[in-house]
Amino acid sequence: MLAPDEPPPFEVVNPDGSSGLFLFCDHASHRLPRALGDLGLRPDQLVDHIGWDIGAAAVARQLSAALDAPLVLSGYSRLAIDCNRPPGVPSSIPVVTGGVPVPGNQNLPESAIQARQEALFWPYHRAISALLDRRPRPLALLSVHSFTPHFPGQVRPWPVAVVYGQDRRLASLFFDEFRRDDPSLLVGDNEPYRVTPEGDYGIPTYGEARGIPAMLLEIRQDGIATEQGAMAWAARVTRVYRAIEQAIPR
Ligand SMILES: [Zn+2]
Protein backbone atom coordinates (compact mmCIF):
# COMPACT_ATOMS: atom_id res chain seq x y z
CA MET A 1 0.00 0.00 0.00
CA LEU A 2 2.81 2.46 0.81
CA ALA A 3 5.19 3.36 -2.01
CA PRO A 4 8.92 3.48 -1.22
CA ASP A 5 8.90 7.28 -1.26
CA GLU A 6 6.03 7.61 1.22
CA PRO A 7 6.66 8.18 4.96
CA PRO A 8 6.66 5.13 7.25
CA PRO A 9 3.48 4.25 9.17
CA PHE A 10 4.98 5.31 12.49
CA GLU A 11 7.66 7.54 13.93
CA VAL A 12 9.65 6.87 17.06
CA VAL A 13 10.96 9.92 18.93
CA ASN A 14 13.46 9.76 21.77
CA PRO A 15 13.40 5.94 22.13
CA ASP A 16 16.10 5.99 24.82
CA GLY A 17 14.61 8.85 26.82
CA SER A 18 15.25 8.67 30.55
CA SER A 19 11.66 9.29 31.72
CA GLY A 20 9.41 6.65 33.24
CA LEU A 21 6.63 8.11 31.12
CA PHE A 22 5.88 6.46 27.77
CA LEU A 23 3.93 8.52 25.20
CA PHE A 24 2.03 7.50 22.10
CA CYS A 25 -0.15 9.43 19.67
CA ASP A 26 -2.61 7.36 17.61
CA HIS A 27 -4.12 10.19 15.58
CA ALA A 28 -1.02 12.25 14.86
CA SER A 29 -1.36 12.73 11.10
CA HIS A 30 -3.97 13.42 8.44
CA ARG A 31 -1.79 11.99 5.67
CA LEU A 32 -3.39 9.35 3.45
CA PRO A 33 -1.47 6.68 1.51
CA ARG A 34 -1.33 7.78 -2.12
CA ALA A 35 -2.95 4.48 -3.10
CA LEU A 36 -6.15 5.53 -1.30
CA GLY A 37 -6.48 8.86 -3.10
CA ASP A 38 -8.74 11.22 -1.18
CA LEU A 39 -11.29 8.55 -0.17
CA GLY A 40 -13.88 10.72 -1.93
CA LEU A 41 -13.59 13.56 0.61
CA ARG A 42 -12.82 17.25 0.13
CA PRO A 43 -9.41 18.62 1.17
CA ASP A 44 -10.96 20.56 4.06
CA GLN A 45 -12.62 17.39 5.34
CA LEU A 46 -9.37 15.42 5.21
CA VAL A 47 -7.62 17.91 7.50
CA ASP A 48 -10.58 18.28 9.88
CA HIS A 49 -10.86 16.35 13.14
CA ILE A 50 -12.35 13.34 11.36
CA GLY A 51 -8.89 12.76 9.85
CA TRP A 52 -6.66 13.34 12.87
CA ASP A 53 -6.38 14.88 16.32
CA ILE A 54 -5.59 18.51 15.63
CA GLY A 55 -2.71 19.68 17.82
CA ALA A 56 -2.12 16.34 19.54
CA ALA A 57 1.18 15.52 17.82
CA ALA A 58 2.58 18.96 18.63
CA VAL A 59 1.72 18.52 22.32
CA ALA A 60 3.11 14.97 22.36
CA ARG A 61 6.40 16.02 20.75
CA GLN A 62 6.84 18.85 23.21
CA LEU A 63 6.06 16.56 26.16
CA SER A 64 8.60 14.08 24.84
CA ALA A 65 11.24 16.80 24.67
CA ALA A 66 10.41 18.44 28.00
CA LEU A 67 10.25 15.20 29.99
CA ASP A 68 12.84 13.23 27.99
CA ALA A 69 10.17 10.60 27.32
CA PRO A 70 9.92 8.13 24.43
CA LEU A 71 7.10 8.76 21.98
CA VAL A 72 5.58 6.76 19.12
CA LEU A 73 3.37 8.58 16.60
CA SER A 74 1.17 7.09 13.91
CA GLY A 75 2.01 8.18 10.39
CA TYR A 76 -1.38 8.16 8.63
CA SER A 77 -4.96 9.36 8.91
CA ARG A 78 -7.53 7.53 10.98
CA LEU A 79 -9.75 7.72 7.90
CA ALA A 80 -7.54 5.01 6.37
CA ILE A 81 -7.60 2.91 9.56
CA ASP A 82 -7.99 4.02 13.16
CA CYS A 83 -4.95 3.06 15.24
CA ASN A 84 -7.01 3.27 18.43
CA ARG A 85 -9.66 0.75 17.42
CA PRO A 86 -9.40 -3.03 17.51
CA PRO A 87 -9.09 -4.25 13.91
CA GLY A 88 -12.43 -5.42 12.60
CA VAL A 89 -14.81 -3.22 14.62
CA PRO A 90 -17.02 -0.95 12.48
CA SER A 91 -15.17 2.22 13.52
CA SER A 92 -11.79 0.76 12.56
CA ILE A 93 -12.28 1.83 8.94
CA PRO A 94 -15.27 4.15 9.29
CA VAL A 95 -17.88 4.29 6.55
CA VAL A 96 -19.38 7.32 8.32
CA THR A 97 -17.49 9.46 10.84
CA GLY A 98 -18.69 12.57 12.64
CA GLY A 99 -21.75 12.48 10.40
CA VAL A 100 -19.59 12.50 7.23
CA PRO A 101 -19.87 9.53 4.85
CA VAL A 102 -16.47 8.28 3.63
CA PRO A 103 -17.05 7.02 0.06
CA GLY A 104 -13.66 5.32 -0.22
CA ASN A 105 -14.40 3.16 2.80
CA GLN A 106 -17.71 1.73 1.56
CA ASN A 107 -18.03 -1.97 0.75
CA LEU A 108 -14.35 -2.78 1.11
CA PRO A 109 -13.36 -6.33 0.24
CA GLU A 110 -11.59 -8.27 2.97
CA SER A 111 -8.32 -8.00 1.03
CA ALA A 112 -8.45 -4.18 1.15
CA ILE A 113 -9.15 -4.23 4.89
CA GLN A 114 -6.24 -6.59 5.46
CA ALA A 115 -3.96 -4.42 3.34
CA ARG A 116 -4.65 -1.37 5.52
CA GLN A 117 -4.14 -3.36 8.71
CA GLU A 118 -0.83 -4.75 7.50
CA ALA A 119 0.51 -1.51 6.06
CA LEU A 120 -0.64 0.99 8.69
CA PHE A 121 -2.12 -0.44 11.88
CA TRP A 122 0.18 -3.32 12.76
CA PRO A 123 3.51 -1.62 12.03
CA TYR A 124 2.58 1.23 14.40
CA HIS A 125 1.54 -1.16 17.14
CA ARG A 126 4.51 -3.45 16.63
CA ALA A 127 6.71 -0.38 17.11
CA ILE A 128 5.01 0.44 20.42
CA SER A 129 5.18 -3.19 21.62
CA ALA A 130 8.82 -3.55 20.65
CA LEU A 131 9.81 -0.35 22.42
CA LEU A 132 7.83 -1.29 25.53
CA ASP A 133 9.46 -4.72 25.54
CA ARG A 134 13.01 -3.45 25.32
CA ARG A 135 12.80 -0.59 27.80
CA PRO A 136 12.57 -0.90 31.58
CA ARG A 137 8.94 -1.19 32.62
CA PRO A 138 7.43 2.31 32.28
CA LEU A 139 5.95 4.10 35.25
CA ALA A 140 2.99 5.32 33.20
CA LEU A 141 1.56 5.42 29.68
CA LEU A 142 -0.01 8.51 28.20
CA SER A 143 -1.98 8.32 24.97
CA VAL A 144 -2.21 11.92 23.70
CA HIS A 145 -5.40 13.00 21.89
CA SER A 146 -7.58 15.99 21.12
CA PHE A 147 -11.35 16.24 20.81
CA THR A 148 -13.58 18.60 18.89
CA PRO A 149 -15.57 21.22 20.82
CA HIS A 150 -18.51 20.72 18.46
CA PHE A 151 -20.24 17.40 18.34
CA PRO A 152 -23.82 16.76 17.27
CA GLY A 153 -26.09 16.73 20.30
CA GLN A 154 -23.34 17.24 22.88
CA VAL A 155 -21.85 20.28 24.60
CA ARG A 156 -18.19 19.77 25.48
CA PRO A 157 -17.17 22.41 28.03
CA TRP A 158 -13.97 20.71 29.29
CA PRO A 159 -10.68 22.20 28.02
CA VAL A 160 -9.00 18.95 29.09
CA ALA A 161 -10.11 15.50 30.16
CA VAL A 162 -8.73 12.31 31.63
CA VAL A 163 -10.15 9.21 29.96
CA TYR A 164 -9.68 5.65 31.17
CA GLY A 165 -11.24 2.21 31.42
CA GLN A 166 -10.77 -0.21 34.29
CA ASP A 167 -7.74 1.52 35.78
CA ARG A 168 -8.24 5.03 37.15
CA ARG A 169 -4.92 5.21 39.04
CA LEU A 170 -3.13 7.56 36.66
CA ALA A 171 -6.25 9.49 35.70
CA SER A 172 -7.03 10.14 39.35
CA LEU A 173 -3.61 11.72 39.94
CA PHE A 174 -3.83 13.85 36.80
CA PHE A 175 -7.41 14.89 37.56
CA ASP A 176 -6.59 16.12 41.06
CA GLU A 177 -3.35 17.83 40.06
CA PHE A 178 -4.88 19.64 37.07
CA ARG A 179 -7.39 21.14 39.47
CA ARG A 180 -4.80 21.94 42.12
CA ASP A 181 -2.65 23.59 39.44
CA ASP A 182 -5.58 25.73 38.26
CA PRO A 183 -8.71 25.62 40.42
CA SER A 184 -10.71 27.36 37.68
CA LEU A 185 -9.96 24.60 35.15
CA LEU A 186 -12.91 22.35 34.29
CA VAL A 187 -11.43 18.86 33.93
CA GLY A 188 -13.46 16.13 32.24
CA ASP A 189 -13.58 12.83 34.12
CA ASN A 190 -14.17 10.17 31.47
CA GLU A 191 -15.67 12.82 29.21
CA PRO A 192 -16.55 13.10 26.36
CA TYR A 193 -16.16 9.32 26.25
CA ARG A 194 -14.54 6.49 28.17
CA VAL A 195 -12.15 3.70 27.29
CA THR A 196 -13.79 0.41 26.29
CA PRO A 197 -12.32 -2.81 24.89
CA GLU A 198 -14.47 -2.37 21.75
CA GLY A 199 -13.75 1.32 21.19
CA ASP A 200 -10.08 1.52 22.13
CA TYR A 201 -6.89 -0.38 21.44
CA GLY A 202 -3.92 1.28 23.16
CA ILE A 203 -5.05 1.55 26.78
CA PRO A 204 -6.50 -2.00 27.01
CA THR A 205 -3.49 -3.49 25.23
CA TYR A 206 -0.56 -1.61 26.75
CA GLY A 207 -2.03 -0.38 30.02
CA GLU A 208 -4.63 -2.78 31.35
CA ALA A 209 -3.14 -5.99 29.91
CA ARG A 210 0.36 -5.14 31.13
CA GLY A 211 -0.78 -3.68 34.44
CA ILE A 212 0.79 -0.29 33.76
CA PRO A 213 -1.06 2.86 34.89
CA ALA A 214 -2.35 4.44 31.67
CA MET A 215 -4.87 6.93 30.34
CA LEU A 216 -5.87 9.04 27.40
CA LEU A 217 -4.97 12.67 27.82
CA GLU A 218 -7.69 14.46 25.85
CA ILE A 219 -7.24 18.18 25.16
CA ARG A 220 -9.98 20.14 23.43
CA GLN A 221 -8.59 21.01 20.04
CA ASP A 222 -9.33 24.74 20.14
CA GLY A 223 -6.75 24.99 22.93
CA ILE A 224 -3.97 23.40 20.89
CA ALA A 225 -4.80 24.25 17.28
CA THR A 226 -1.99 26.82 17.20
CA GLU A 227 1.67 26.14 17.95
CA GLN A 228 1.47 28.64 20.79
CA GLY A 229 -1.53 26.88 22.30
CA ALA A 230 0.10 23.47 21.97
CA MET A 231 3.25 24.72 23.71
CA ALA A 232 1.24 26.24 26.56
CA TRP A 233 -0.69 23.01 27.12
CA ALA A 234 2.47 20.92 26.91
CA ALA A 235 4.04 23.16 29.57
CA ARG A 236 1.01 22.69 31.81
CA VAL A 237 0.96 18.91 31.37
CA THR A 238 4.71 18.78 32.00
CA ARG A 239 4.24 20.69 35.26
CA VAL A 240 1.37 18.44 36.31
CA TYR A 241 3.24 15.25 35.45
CA ARG A 242 6.29 16.34 37.44
CA ALA A 243 4.05 17.04 40.43
CA ILE A 244 2.43 13.58 40.40
CA GLU A 245 5.34 11.45 39.19
CA GLN A 246 6.42 10.28 42.63
CA ALA A 247 2.86 9.29 43.54
CA ILE A 248 2.28 6.95 40.60
CA PRO A 249 1.90 3.42 42.01
CA ARG A 250 4.65 1.07 40.91
ZN1 LIG B 1 -7.62 10.67 19.18
CATH of the domain at 220: 3.40.630.40
> Which pLDDT score is estimated for 125?
98
In-domain check, residue 81: yes
CA of 110 to the centre of ligand 1 (A): 25
Helix ranges (DSSP H) in 71-222: 110-116, 122-134, 169-181, 202
Residue 211 Cα to ligand 1 midpoint, Å, equals 22
Within a domain: 43: yes
Domain that holds residue 225: 10-247
Residue 4 lies in a domain: no
Distance (angstroms) between ligand 1 centre and the Cα of 156 equals 15
Q: What pLDDT is attached to residue 236?
A: 98
Q: How far away, in angstroms, is 89 Cα from ligand 1 center?
A: 16
Q: With respect to residue 128, please indicate whether it lies within any of the assigned structural domains.
A: yes
Which DSSP string do the residues of 186-202 spell out, in sequence order? Answer: -EEES-S----TTT-SH
194: CA distance to ligand 1 center in Å? 12
With respect to residue 189, please indicate whether it lies within any of the assigned structural domains: yes
> Which residues neighbour 11 within 8 Å (Cβ) at sequence distance 6 or greater?
28, 72, 73, 75
Q: Cα of 62 to ligand 1 centre, how many Å?
A: 17
What is the tally of structural domains in the chain?
Answer: 1
Q: Indicate whether 33 belongs to any domain.
A: yes
Confidence (pLDDT) at 150? 84
What is the Å distance from ligand 1's center to 226 Cα? 17
Q: 26 CA to middle of ligand 1, Å?
A: 6
Looking at residue 111, what is its pLDDT? 98
* Tens-place pLDDT, residues 66-78: 999 999 999 999 9
Domain annotation covers residue 149: yes
Low-confidence ranges of the chain (pLDDT < 50): none
pLDDT value of residue 154: 85
2 domain residue, yes or no: no
Ligand 1 center to residue 216 CA distance, Å? 9
pTM exceeding the 0.95 threshold for the entire prediction = yes
The pLDDT tens digits for 205-236 are 999 999 999 999 999 999 999 999 999 999 99
